[in-house]
Amino acid sequence: MSDRDHLPPEERRRVLAERRKALAETPVDQARETWAVVAFRVAGHRHAIPAAHARQFLEAHRLSPLTGTPSWMLGAIQARARVVPVLDLRLLLGHTGSGIADATCVILIEDDEGEGFGIAVDSVEGHLEIPRDALTEVHGGGLVRWWGPDRLGVLEIDRLGLDGGTAERST
Amino acid sequence: MTTDEVLRQVWPVFSAEAREILQSIGRRVLDWEASEPSAEAHEAMQRDAHSLKGMSGSMGLEGFVHLAHAIEDLLVVRRSETCIPRPSAEAILGALDAMETALAASTTPGVAPVEGQAEKLAALRTAHEAPATEVPSPAAEASAPPAAPAGTAAPAAPPESAPSAPAAAPAHAAAPAAPAAAPPTQAEPAPRRPDPATAPETRGEGSIRVPAHTIDQIAGYIEALALGADAADRRAGALLSAGEELQATVMAARAAGPAGRDELLDRLTELARGVARHGAESRRDALRHKLETAAAREDLRQLRMIPISAALEPLRRAVRDAANALGKEVVLRLHGEDLRLDRRIVDAVKDPLVHLVRNAVDHGLEPAEARRAAGKPQAGHIEVRVVPRGHRVAIQVADDGAGLSVERIRRRAVERRLLGAEEAARLAEAEVFRLAFTPGFSTAERVTAISGRGVGLDVVQSAVTRLQGSIEVTSTPGKGTTFELDLPLALSVTLGLLVRVDTERAAIPAVAVERVLRVPHGQMGHVVDRRVATVNGRQLPFVELADVLQHTGPAAPDDGPARTALLLRLGGTPLVVGVDEVLGEREFLVRGLGRRGAAAPLLAGVALLDDGTIVSVLNPAMILGRTEPRAAPRAASARIVVADDSLTSRTAVKTILELAGYTVVSAVDGEDAWRHIARGGVDAVVTDWQMPRLDGLGLVRRLKADPAHRATPIVLVTSLDAPEDRRAGLEAGADGYVVKKDVQSGALLDLVRALLPVRHG
C-alpha cells in the first residue's frame, strides 16, 4: 500500500483523478517516455495501435463472413468467450483493395468501453517502443492520430467502426 | 491490488447499490405524497438515506454525503406529516435525480460530480426550515378541491416555499388521497401503493447483484461447453463406428485362414470391444452434458430476466411531473409489473414507455373543463398493462382522453406532403394511425416542453423495432387511445430458420416466420413497380432477401417452376421473402456485436452454429419495415402540375404520372397552371403547347423569367412534332419536349424521372 492511502480524502481523490486521467490518455512508459504499440501492415501501409488495446492475435481463416452488414465489416470471429465484428481496415482507411483475400491475421482489440472488435491485417510486425518525441500528432479527425518514424500511422481506436465506416483518406 | 484497482472493482457495486437506494427512497417519497407511510416505511427511508451517506463517504463522494445528510434531516423533520409537503418532496426528489444523473454520467470510478449541487442543498435546507403545514381537514378539502389537495403545501404558502410549488395548482400525479373528501366522480383508488401491513419492506428480492459483463462471460463459456458436448457426441459416434469396423475386419481375418493369427485376432477382438465400450460411455457422457448445459442455459436465462416493474416505476414520476407541469390531474394505474422479461428489453423499453405516457398526459388527456363537459371524471386515467402472450408480451398504454383524430392526421399528412390528398382519403384508419409514427410528424398545434415536437413516436417505434417488436395504435374519438407494444420475452435463445442466399447464410427468428412456401412463378408479378406474390388467393408484397441484404452476387438462379420463400409476419401485413434454400430450424443464442453492431441495423445479432461458423441473425421487424411501403417514412412524392385544355389528354398524362407515384395537380390552361405554380410547392410542370389564355410556350417563358420558379423543370408535351417547334420550345427554356404519341411508351416518365432530383426517405 502506498503513501496515497494516508492522504486526506480530498487530496487522495485529486491524486487518483490525475493519475487516472494520465493513464487514460496515453500509453506512456513513464520511465522512458516511449510509447508501446503493435505495428502491422495493411495494403502495403504501416500502421499501429497502442499495445494496451491489442488483446489477441487470431488467424484470419477463422473469420466468418456476415450477410447484411456494411462493406467495411468483414464478418465476425470467435475469440475465447466472445463473438466480435471484424473490420476491413483497407476500406476504413481508404487504401485500395479490400476483402479477406490478403489478410492473414485478425488483431483482437479491446476499446475503452471494454468492447471487443477485430481488425484484419496483412501481417503483424510486432511490438514497438516509439520515443514520444518521434511522434507527430495529426489533427483533422481522421483515423490516423499520430505519425511515427518510417511512415507509421498510429490509429485512433475508439473511432474505428463507430463513425459510420466511411472511407478515410490517410494523408 | 493498488487503490486504483480496488476502486475500479468496487465502483460498479457501489454504483448499482446507490442507484437502488435512490430509487427506493424516491418510491417511498412518491407514496408519501399520497398517504401516510407506516413506521417501517419511515425507518426504511431514513435507513436508506443514512446508508447512502455512509457508502458515499467511503467512496469519497463529498457531494453525495452532503445531499444524503440533508435528505436524512428533512425526512426526520417531516416525519409526523401525514403527507409530505410539496416543497420537501420536490427538494428530495430533485436531489435524488441529481445524484442518479451524476452516477449515470460518471465515466471514472470514484468521480461523480453532482450538477447543481448547491441549489439542491439549498432547496433541501429551505424545505427543512419551512414551518410544518397543517393537514387539511377533510371538510376543507371537500369544499375546495382546486385549492389544497391533500399533500401539497397550502397555496398561500409562506414566501420561502420553493419556487417549484405553483400556487393553487390542483395538479397531482397521484389521485387525491383522502378518499372521504374526494368528489364523487373520483372514486378511483390512487395508483398502486404497497399496503403497509403486508408489503415487504425489502429493497430487492434477495437477489445477488452480478455485473452484466459476468453474465455474458458465463454465457460464452456455457456455449463453448455446449459445442464441446456436440463435438464429444460426434467423437463417440466415430469411435463406435471404428469399433464396428474393427470387428468386421477381425471376422474377415478369421474367416481367411490358419494358425498364430488367432492370438492376434483375440487381442484385436478385445480391442474392438474396448473401443465399442468407450464409444458407448462417451455417448452417455455427451448426453449428460447436453442435459446439464440445457439446465445451465435455462438458469442463465432466468438470471437475465427481471420484473418489468423496473421499467414501469419511472412512469409514476413521469406522469406526476408532466401532470404538474400542465396543470392536469392524472391517475396512473399499472398492471402486470411482476412479469419477468430479459433485462435488456426492460432497459430498452423504459424510454419509449415514458414517451408514451407523457404524450398521453399532454395530448391524449383533455383539460379538466373539456372532460367535465364530456361527462368524464376530472382526473384523466392512464393505464399501463403488461400482458403475457406465450413467448411474447404485450404492453398496453391506454388513456381515456379525446382519442386520435383520424381527420387531423390525414390533413397533417397531406400538409407535410407525405401523401397526396386523394391518397390520404383512401387510407384505412389503421394505416392513418400508423402515419403518426413518421419522424417529425405531429398534429400538436403547439410544442410544449413535454412533447409536441413530434420526436416521440418515431423514436418509440425504432426502439421497439430494434427489440424485434412492433407497435400498434387504436383509438376511439372521445373515448381514448391505446398503444400496444408487442415484444419478445427474451432476446437470448431464439428458435430460428437458417436460410441460404447465394453462397451466404442467414438466420431468421422463427417467431416471425408464419410459413415456408414455394411460390410458382406464375403467381408472382408486379403491381405498378412493386413485386407481389399471390398466396392462397391473396396478393401480398414480395421481396428477394438478396435485395434486402443488398447482396451483390449473381441474380437468383432459376430454381425450377417455383421460388422458395418465407411468409414473414409480425402482426400487420405479411411479406413474402424469396430465398434460395431453407437449411433447417435451429436454436440460436443470439449475441450482440456491441456498439459497432449498430452499423448493421438489419441484424438482431449473430449466432454461433454447431460447426463453429457464425451467421447473421436478421431482425424481422427491420425486413418488414424496409419493404412495407406505408410503414416506413415515405419520401415526399413530387408534385407535378399537368396543364392541358383537353380533358382526355390531361387525364391520360395524369394517370401515367400518378401510377408512377407522383402527386398530380390539374390545370386547364397556362394561367391556371401558373396560379398553382405561384402558390408554391410544385416540383415539375408538364404542359401542352396549344391552350387558350396562356399557351405552353408562354408558360415556359413566364416560368423561366421568374427567379422564384426558374429552377422548376417544365416539359412540353405536344402533338406538334417539327424540329423548328422543338427548337422553339427548348429555346424558350423548356427542360424537355415530348411528342404526344411518345407519351404512352414511357418517354414522358423517363424525362420526368430524369429531371426530378431523387428524393431519399
Lowest mean pLDDT across A130-139, B296-305, B510-519 = B296-305
Residue A85: per-residue pLDDT: 94
Look-up: residue for cell 399501463? B384
pLDDT tens string B7-36: 777 787 788 888 888 988 998 998 898 888
Q: Name the residue among A13, A64, A69 with its Cβ closest to that of B60.
A: A13
Q: Cβ of A83 and B606 within 8 Å?
A: yes
Residue B617: per-residue pLDDT: 92
Confidence of residue B413 (pLDDT cuts 50, 70, 90): confident
Best CA proximity match to A130, nearest among A3, A26, A15, A43: A26
Residue B134: per-residue pLDDT: 47
Cβ-Cβ contacts under 8 Å, A1 against chain B: 3
Q: Name the residue among B216, B506, B593 with its Cβ closest to that of A67.
A: B506
Residue A80: per-residue pLDDT: 66
Q: Cβ of A2 and B2 within 8 Å?
A: yes
The mean pLDDT value of chain B amounts to 77
Sign, Cα dihedral of B620, B621, B622, B623 = positive
**B571 residue type, one letter:** G
| Minimum distance, in Å, between the CA of residue A90 and any CA atom of chain B | 17
b/e map B314-335, b = 16+ CB within 10 Å? bbbbbbbbbbbbbebbbbbbbe
Gap between the Cα atoms of B525 and B541, Å rounded: 10
Residue B509 φ/ψ, nearest 5 degrees = -55, 130
For residue B162, pLDDT beyond 80: no
Q: Name the residue among A17, A85, A165 with its Cβ closest to that of B597.
A: A85
Confidence of residue B145 (pLDDT cuts 50, 70, 90): very low
For residue B636, pLDDT beyond 90: no
The whole-number average pLDDT for the span B617-643 is: 68
Confidence of residue B165 (pLDDT cuts 50, 70, 90): very low
CB B229 within 8 A of CB B293: yes
Residue B672, number of CB atoms within 10 A of its CB: 19
Residue of chain B nearest A72, judged by CA positions: B599
Gap between the Cα atoms of B392 and B509, Å rounded: 13
User: Which H helix or E strand runs over B19?
Assistant: helix B3-34
Gap between the Cα atoms of B172 and B176, Å rounded: 7
- List of residues 6+ apart from B231 with CB closer than 8 A: none
The contact set of B with A (CB < 8 A) is: 2-4, 7, 60, 62, 108-111, 213, 216-217, 219-221, 223-224, 501, 504-506, 548-551, 591, 593-597, 599-600, 602-603, 606, 608, 612-616, 618
pLDDT tens string B42-78: 888 988 898 888 888 878 888 999 999 999 989 988 8
For residue B516, pLDDT beyond 60: yes
b/e map B207-244, b = 16+ CB within 10 Å? eeeeeeeeeeebbbebbebbbebbebbeebeebbeebe
Residue B169: per-residue pLDDT: 34
Residue of chain A nearest B107, judged by CA positions: A113
b/e map B78-104, b = 16+ CB within 10 Å? beebebbbbbbbbbbbbbbebbbebbe
pLDDT tens string A144-164: 888 988 889 999 888 788 764
The whole-number average pLDDT for the span A64-83 is: 85
Confidence of residue B158 (pLDDT cuts 50, 70, 90): very low
| Minimum distance, in Å, between the CA of residue A37 and any CA atom of chain B | 23
Q: Cβ of A69 and B603 within 8 Å?
A: yes
Lowest mean pLDDT across B50-64, B79-93, B686-700, B740-754 = B740-754
DSSP characters over B618-657: E-HHHHHHHH-TTTSPPPPPPEEEEE-S-HHHHHHHHHHH
- List of residues 6+ apart from A144 with CB closer than 8 A: A47, A93, A138, A153, A154, A155, A156, A168, A170, A171
Pull the grid cell for residue B718.
405536344
Lowest mean pLDDT across A115-124, B130-139, B222-231, B525-534 = B130-139
Q: Name the residue among A16, A73, A77 with its Cβ closest to that of B110.
A: A16
For residue B85, pLDDT beyond 60: yes
Cβ-Cβ contacts under 8 Å, A113 against chain B: 595
Highest mean pLDDT: which of B30-39, B204-213, B280-289?
Answer: B30-39
Confidence of residue B363 (pLDDT cuts 50, 70, 90): confident
Residue B467 φ/ψ, nearest 5 degrees = -90, 15
Residue A97: per-residue pLDDT: 60
Residue B204, number of CB atoms within 10 A of its CB: 11
SS (H, E, C) B598-610: HHCCCEEEEEECC
The whole-number average pLDDT for the span B595-605 is: 84
The whole-number average pLDDT for the span B584-596 is: 79
**A22 residue type, one letter:** A
Residue B533, number of CB atoms within 10 A of its CB: 24
| Minimum distance, in Å, between the CA of residue A134 and any CA atom of chain B | 30
Confidence of residue B577 (pLDDT cuts 50, 70, 90): very high
- List of residues 6+ apart from A52 with CB closer than 8 A: A27, A36
Gap between the Cα atoms of B136 and B143, Å rounded: 11
Residue B160: per-residue pLDDT: 37
For residue B698, pLDDT beyond 50: yes
Q: Cβ of B593 and A76 within 8 Å?
A: yes
Interface residue of A69, A110, A158, A162 to substitute, partner B, most B CBs within 10 Å = A69
Cβ-Cβ contacts under 8 Å, B596 against chain A: 73, 85, 87, 115, 117, 161-162
The whole-number average pLDDT for the span B516-530 is: 86
Confidence of residue B110 (pLDDT cuts 50, 70, 90): confident
CB B475 within 8 A of CB B481: yes
| Minimum distance, in Å, between the CA of residue A4 and any CA atom of chain B | 8
| Minimum distance, in Å, between the CA of residue A114 and any CA atom of chain B | 9
Look-up: residue for cell 436531489? B95
pLDDT tens string B211-269: 677 677 677 777 777 777 777 778 778 878 877 877 777 777 777 767 667 777 777 77
User: Which H helix or E strand runs over B68?
Assistant: helix B62-77
How far out from the chain centre does Cα B487 lie?
A: 9
Gap between the Cα atoms of B10 and B5, Å rounded: 9
Confidence of residue B714 (pLDDT cuts 50, 70, 90): very high
Residue B210: per-residue pLDDT: 65
Confidence of residue A26 (pLDDT cuts 50, 70, 90): low
Residue B668, number of CB atoms within 10 A of its CB: 16
Residue of chain A nearest B224, judged by CA positions: A81
Residue B181: per-residue pLDDT: 36
The whole-number average pLDDT for the span B713-738 is: 85
For residue B463, pLDDT beyond 80: no
Radius of gyration from C-alpha coordinates of chain B: 35
Best CA proximity match to B644, nearest among B692, B708, B679: B692
What is the number of helices (H) and of strands (E) in chain B? Answer: 23, 23
Cβ-Cβ contacts under 8 Å, A13 against chain B: 60, 110-111
Sign, Cα dihedral of B719, B723, B729, B733 = positive
Residue B177: per-residue pLDDT: 35
Q: Cβ of A84 and B594 within 8 Å?
A: yes
- For residues B63 and B722, the model is more confident at B63
Residue B445: per-residue pLDDT: 52
Percent of the residues in chain B that have a pLDDT greater than 70, as a whole number? 79
DSSP characters over B474-486: EEETTTEEEEEEE
Through-space distance between the first and last CA atoms of chain A, rounded to whole angstroms? 47
- DSSP, res A52: G
In angstroms, the Cα distances linking B443 to B355, B399, B405, B407, B660 are 16, 18, 9, 10, 29
Gap between the Cα atoms of B636 and B435, Å rounded: 13
Gap between the Cα atoms of B683 and B663, Å rounded: 10
DSSP characters over B666-708: EESSHHHHHHHHHHS---EEEEES--SSS-HHHHHHHHHH-TT
Strand A105-110: give its sheet, edge to edge: A54-59, A105-110, A116-121, A82-88, A73-79
